[in-house]
Amino acid sequence: MGIGDKMRGLASSAQEGVKSSTISLFHIGLRLVTGLLLGLTLALIGQELMGYGTFALLFVMVVVVAALMKILANWSIGQILIFDLICVLVVMLLRMYILVAP
């Protein structure tokens, strides 16, 4: 085993490490963005219904983000994207209901 083989092995292991780190960071970022959007939506709905203040709004957002980060931890990126698609479709359905309702 020469120095060329060792360098090749080092380069391939570094490449695999960067690839796995990038996928892991993307997964965490996707879960965080999903949680923030859903948390903000639910917190704003709760604020309009209950009339609570800014501190309660932030508290609800943090709780929803933490719960979704925990729930989505074992999901793959594809499953999270499908969940996001379903959430967007539900939001569009609610928006249509609000616009059409008298």
* DSSP codes joined into one string, 30-59: HHHHHHHHHHHHHHHHHHHHH---HHHHHH
Average pLDDT score over residue span 19-30? 94
* Per-residue model confidence as pLDDT tens digits over 48-66: 999 889 999 999 999 999 9
- The closest of 28, 41, 21 to 70, measured between CA atoms, is 28
* Per-residue model confidence as pLDDT tens digits over 10-24: 888 888 888 999 999
